[in-house]
Amino acid sequence: MTKRISGMDIFLALLVVLLLGALLAFVYLGHFTRYMADDYCTAAYANSAGFYKPQIESYRDWTGRFSFSFLLAVAELIGPSIVPFLPLFALTCWLAASVWSIYQIATVAQWPRAFLVSAILAELIIFATLNSAHHIVQSFYWQTGLLTYTAPLIFMTLYVGVVVYGAKRRLQMRSIWILVIASFAITFFAGGFSETYVVMQTCCLLLPALAVFKLFRRSLWVSLPFTVAGLAGSLMSVAVVVAAPGNKIRQSFFPPPPDLINLTKLSIHYTVRFVGRTVYQSPLTLVGLLLVPMVIAHYLFRLNRQRPGPDIRMTRILLVSLPLVSLFLIFISFVPGVYGTSGDPAWRTRIIPQFVLAFTMVGWSFLAGLALSPRLSTSRYASWIRTASLTAVIVLAISSPVLSIRRIFKLVPLARASANLWDQSDRELRAAKAQGLRDVTIPAVDDVESRLGAPFDELEIDHNAKNWKNQCVANYYGLNSIRAR
């Protein structure tokens, strides 16, 4: 018997295409990225010292971010040609992991249209994270920033799918040891990308471990081996990151860390500012995060009315606790940066709390939709409410990605010009070295990041040849000095 395709199915399919188009627009703009700032430093050292030595010395003399150092060394083996393709590779992995992970949840919950809904929710979370990013260039387009702050989010997404898939296999009385080991390995490796992420990940894993014993002993017991393994991997990662001798050297470039009271006050302050700026900067995106999953949940409820509804007690607890958990994890995401700098952490770190916000908002909205569906279905105004809600969701769902695509393509000409100028400068600097020149002046480009959509610029080559960024560029090309005219 052929399944009946409704207007809602068509709308959801169109939404998949539209959100995918917005994500591809982000990737297309990323194709015009090149080396910036620290990229030159690490590339110059990798070219002279090889694959392993930079990782060892980075751990000893600068940072404990062992996973970041490893992937950076891999990227440097390929060279600058990989930079324009890193956003594409990262987004492909992120989207694949997200769709697979949400699909595991969908199959356990027996959602109708499981793959279609999984694709929409996965795209929505990633789109909202990127579209609301406070500094997308340093978080997603810049090689160093992408490998430090966006990469671990891919592993976190994959870990969620492994936990659900493992719980499903455990219920079926199948072997789970490989998945337990995978849980440990994923969180251990993910924690080695940055202090901001590993602290958030560890706290995030502590919450379900506690919930098993306090609230949902029966329903979450099957996931306990994977949660414990993931927590163990995260804690070991914390130990490796914190034990790095280079942390003290790096800390010496910043003011002394604040005491506990001031650390808490500052972290709360920057958390509130983060939430406020996100709401101010991306209201349509946030409204879409709230409404789209809610309408999808109601649609699934209507398709599958014969199944029992969600557990009322658990749903109420989650609807109350999820916003609190989200705010706590956002707060925790700011603590390492505030501790290290005694001030506002670098904006590139904010993609981590932005992902937390998007993920938890989608989860809360979906649960709210399931909780409201039984009442809406029996309401005398049910038909009117569904029509009005669907109309609002269609308008919002279309508006946000369409506006995003429009904004991105307005940036393309300037981004392309910047990339062409970088390519030209690269050829000229290599030619200058071949001719025996040692002090070179190149055209100034003071707005590389803003050409890619950033709110401010700070990674460009300076007019002063003694600036550390200029010195990194000079070392990369084997010159004495470089300055921008």
Q: What percent of the chain has pLDDT over 90?
A: 53
**Dihedral angle sign, alpha carbons of residues 182, 188, 189, 191:** positive
* pLDDT for 371: 84
Q: CA triplet 360, 261, 343: central angle to 5 degrees?
A: 70
CB atoms near residue 339 (< 10 Å): 19
**Taking phi first (over 0 means left), then psi (-120 to 50 degrees means alpha), and beta for anything else, what does residue 113 get?**
left
Q: What percent of the chain has pLDDT over 70?
A: 90
Say if CB 411 and CB 452 are below 8 A apart. yes
| Residue indicated by tokens 């939709």 | 369
Least confident of 87-96, 305-314, 437-446: 305-314
Instruction: For residues 138 and 143, give the distance between their C-alpha atoms in angstroms, rounded to a whole number.
Output: 8
User: Is the per-residue pLDDT at 450 higher than 70?
Assistant: yes
User: Is the per-residue pLDDT at 214 higher than 80?
Assistant: no
Residue-averaged pLDDT of the chain: 87
Instruction: For residues 272 and 324, give the distance between their C-alpha atoms in angstroms, rounded to a whole number.
Output: 13
User: Is the per-residue pLDDT at 254 higher than 70?
Assistant: yes
Mean pLDDT across the stretch 108-117?
A: 86
Query: What pLDDT digit, counting tens, does each position of 167-203 carry?
Result: 887 766 677 889 999 999 999 999 999 999 999 999 9
Q: Which residue has the higher pLDDT, 304 or 150?
A: 150
φ/ψ of 442, rounded to 5, equals: -125, 160
Domain boundaries, the chain: 7-413, 417-484
User: Is the per-residue pLDDT at 142 higher than 80?
Assistant: yes
Distances (CA, A) of 26 to 358, 405, 427: 17, 8, 27
- Selection from 322, 347, 327, 292 nearest residue 128 by Cα: 292
User: Is the per-residue pLDDT at 7 higher than 90?
Assistant: no
Least confident of 191-200, 304-313, 393-402, 429-438: 304-313
φ/ψ of 462, rounded to 5, equals: -90, 165
Least confident of 34-38, 109-113, 477-481: 109-113
- Selection from 37, 52, 5 nearest residue 457 by Cα: 37
* pLDDT for 338: 94
Q: Which two tokens stand for residue 341?
A: 């700098």
DSSP 353-399: HHHHHHHHHHHHHHHHHHHHHHHHHHSTTHHHHHHHHHHHHHHHHHH
Q: Work out the pLDDT band at 382, boundaries 50, 70, 90.
A: low
3-state secondary structure of 439: strand
Q: Which two tokens stand for residue 48?
A: 């002279």
Query: What pLDDT digit, counting tens, does each position of 231-253 carry?
Result: 999 999 999 999 999 888 888 88
**Taking phi first (over 0 means left), then psi (-120 to 50 degrees means alpha), and beta for anything else, what does residue 37 get?**
left
Instruction: For residues 391 and 33, give the distance between their C-alpha atoms in angstroms, rounded to a whole number.
Output: 38
Instruction: For residues 261 and 338, give the distance between their C-alpha atoms in angstroms, rounded to a whole number.
Output: 12
Q: What does the DSSP 8-state code read for residue 137?
A: I
Query: What pLDDT digit, counting tens, does each position of 17-58 carry?
Result: 999 999 999 999 999 999 999 899 999 988 888 899 989 989
Residue 217's identity, in one-letter code, is: R
Mean pLDDT across the stretch 115-131?
A: 94
Distances (CA, A) of 407 to 8, 383, 403: 28, 36, 6
- Can you give the length of the chain in residues? 485
* pLDDT for 31: 94
Instruction: For residues 259 and 124, give the distance between their C-alpha atoms in angstroms, rounded to a whole number.
Output: 39
Distances (CA, A) of 223 to 217, 295, 471: 10, 28, 51
Distances (CA, A) of 109 to 104, 300, 309, 316: 9, 11, 11, 18
Mean pLDDT across the stretch 345-368?
A: 94
* pLDDT for 219: 54
Query: What pLDDT digit, counting tens, does each position of 302-353 carry?
Result: 777 666 556 677 778 888 888 999 999 999 999 999 999 888 899 999 999 9
* pLDDT for 187: 96
User: Is the per-residue pLDDT at 1 higher than 50?
Assistant: no
User: Is the per-residue pLDDT at 111 higher than 80?
Assistant: yes
Q: Which two tokens stand for residue 178?
A: 């490989």
* pLDDT for 223: 76
Query: How much is the pTM?
Result: 0.92
Instruction: For residues 391 and 425, give the distance between their C-alpha atoms in angstroms, rounded to a whole number.
Output: 51
- Selection from 210, 212, 223 nearest residue 166 by Cα: 223
